[in-house]
Amino acid sequence: MTNFNKSKIILSIILSILLLDPAFTFAETPFKEGVSITPASGSSVEQIVNDKNKIPGFQVWRWGERDQILIEGSKKLSKVDDIISLLKETGNEKVKSAIIENGIHTPTNLAEVEKLIESSGDIETRLKILQENSKKIESKKIPEIAQNIAQMYDSTTDKFKNAYDQAILKAIPNANNFSEFIRLVDSMKVPKDKDQALKDGMRFAESWYDYAVLSRRADEPLRSQILEEGLKKCSTFAEIVDLGKYSFKPELTDKFVQKALPLAKTSQDLKTLSLMTMNPAILSEIAKMNLPDSEGQSSYRRLALIEEIRTQYGLYVRDDLGGAWWSCDQLQWIKETLAKLPKSFIKSTAELYPSVEEVTSTTGFTTQTVSDGKNGTQYGDVESRITEIGCRDKKTFQEALVRELAHAFYFNHNDMAQEFRTKFWPDSKNEGRRNTLSPKDCGKPATPSVSAVGNSMPREDFAESARMFLENPEGLKAASPERYNFLKEKVFSNS
């Protein structure tokens, strides 16, 4: 076979492909925007494709017209599936992106948004799809979609992280409220992107507390900028003082003190302000003021309650740690709870800590223990610290506090804990110092505990039983007479 004949055969194959498959084009075509064409006559995929195919595929010089018909026709489509079907009619990535952008409004739900995103191979187009449709998606789903968008890149690379954050930034303007905004910000991966989001997100903040939440997530100088904006929102002495505690810059803190000073009503308020500043001029101004000595505002009331708890029950309630503190209500709830307990039950706990985070999905406390090393892996000689992690209503708060006080008691009374396990959890392994067993190592209780949590492991059984003993002793006696008698004899004999 001569070279000439070979060339004829190859040319024939190419022409056949073009004629048989009118959708075929090379990745790069002579497509140019603004090509003069006759608009697509119909508004269905079939009609648009028919109009395109009126221009034969072998006329390479007219591929731009074919693609332009697809683009113009896509403007008439109203369904995601139709947009995606039209993409199969071209091999030009720029044309595909143009078609998708024309159909960017067509998704009506999360599944359709995801389908349209997956049909695009261009990161910018994917981001536009999310930005346009983010209000159609639950905010909690947006990080997952951002993850899908960024999966064009290796998840270990900076490109992936940047793409993910860009997706979040596109969705943030459509957040419905401050909580949704914070959820999106917290999912971001690159600090500089998060700072940009926080700066833009100040428009979502409505109260001084919103600004406090923003500031805790920002570094300087943005942190101070946020607090200065928040200061403008503060209208009461308590708001100014509480937000001012988030400031790490003396000159900014002084601005808070100066704004709060005219609102001070008592000598205790003045004392609170004097502890916030080291500015001689401000301290001198405070010293000249003569205000009555009374209960004062919330900042002083917190300190008074903390001191009452310490002197009456020997329990240190730590306040203002890392910008977190207890509310007056919470401190009052602590005091009321402790008043119902024997001091022998309380003294196993050394300290209570406030939480710095706004935890909405988890309510309760967590117990931290630090061994002094005297007893190896045993419970004895353990310092227990309890951290509050998001209780906002009185009943939940007090129940959770009792449970964690019970954990601390359990950790610090090894002989009693061993006796409890032997009696009620005969198949359980020795728990060791603390939290070292999973439920599968504990077997099942000899008799059911008072709750599902109590049935998970010995220490939870003890804590739940103690809670019920204090909350509803008759209920515990009816549900588990053995546990009632054990607690009355071994734990609450002095109550």
Give tens-digit pLDDT for 61-87: 777 788 888 888 888 888 878 888 888
- Residue 291 — pLDDT band, cuts 50, 70, 90? confident
Position 144 scores a pLDDT of: 67
208 token code pair: 């001084």
Q: How many CB atoms lie within 10 A of CB 22?
A: 18
The residue type found at 346 is I
Q: Which of these ranges, 106-115, 264-273, 469-478, has the smallest mean pLDDT?
A: 106-115
In whole angstroms, give the CA distance from residue 386 to residue 364. Answer: 10
Position 274 scores a pLDDT of: 87
Q: 254-258, 396-400, 449-453 — which one is most confidently predicted on average? A: 254-258
- Residue 229 — pLDDT band, cuts 50, 70, 90? very high
In whole angstroms, give the CA distance from residue 267 to residue 272. Answer: 9
Position 355 scores a pLDDT of: 61
What are the start-end ranges of the H helices in 413-480? 414-424, 458-471, 473-479
Instruction: Name the percent of the chain lying above pLDDT 70.
Output: 71
Q: Which of these ranges, 95-104, 217-226, 252-261, has the smallest mean pLDDT?
A: 95-104
Position 120 scores a pLDDT of: 73
As to burial, measured by CB atoms within 10 angstroms (0-12 exposed, 13-18 middle, 19+ buried), residue 296 is buried
Position 5 scores a pLDDT of: 60
In whole angstroms, give the CA distance from residue 164 to residue 144. Answer: 10
Q: In this model, does residue 308 exceed pLDDT 80?
A: yes
Q: In this model, does residue 410 exceed pLDDT 80?
A: yes
Q: In this model, does residue 296 exceed pLDDT 50?
A: no
Contact in structure between 148 and 114 (CB atoms under 8 Å): yes
> Could you tell me which residue, 79 or 387, shows the higher pLDDT?
79
Crossing angle for the helix pair 208-216 and 178-186, nearest 10 degrees?
Answer: 0
Q: In this model, does residue 379 exceed pLDDT 50?
A: no
Query: 172-200, pLDDT tens digit by residue?
Result: 777 778 887 888 888 888 788 888 888 88
Q: In this model, does residue 260 exceed pLDDT 70?
A: yes
In whole angstroms, give the CA distance from residue 238 to residue 272. Answer: 10
> Could you tell me which residue, 32 or 11, shows the higher pLDDT?
11
Position 148 scores a pLDDT of: 67
Position 353 scores a pLDDT of: 74
Q: In this model, does residue 424 exceed pLDDT 50?
A: yes
Position 388 scores a pLDDT of: 58
> Could you tell me which residue, 383 or 111, shows the higher pLDDT?
111
In whole angstroms, give the CA distance from residue 399 to residue 316. Answer: 19
262-to-240, 245, 246, 330, 413 alpha-carbon distances in Å: 11, 18, 21, 28, 53
**Token pair 């599944």 in the structure block, residue:** 111
Pairing of strands 365-371, 382-388: antiparallel
* pTM reported for the whole predicted model: 0.44
How much is the average pLDDT of 208-229? 90
Instruction: Name the percent of the chain lying above pLDDT 90.
Output: 14
Q: Which of these ranges, 1-5, 35-39, 66-70, 147-151, has the smallest mean pLDDT?
A: 35-39
How much is the average pLDDT of 40-61? 73
Q: In this model, does residue 483 exceed pLDDT 90?
A: yes
Position 384 scores a pLDDT of: 55
Contact in structure between 374 and 380 (CB atoms under 8 Å): yes
Contact in structure between 69 and 99 (CB atoms under 8 Å): no
Contact in structure between 161 and 116 (CB atoms under 8 Å): no
Q: Compute the 3-state secondary structure of the chain and give helix, strand, coil in percent, each to the nearest 5.
A: 60, 5, 35
Q: In this model, does residue 228 exceed pLDDT 90?
A: yes
242-to-13, 178, 227 alpha-carbon distances in Å: 79, 20, 11
Query: 138-162, pLDDT tens digit by residue?
Result: 666 676 667 666 666 776 777 778 7
Q: Which of these ranges, 113-117, 423-427, 447-451, has the smallest mean pLDDT?
A: 113-117
105 token code pair: 């409004």
Q: Look at residues 347, 353, 390, 346 and name the one whose alpha carbon lies nearest to residue 368.
A: 353
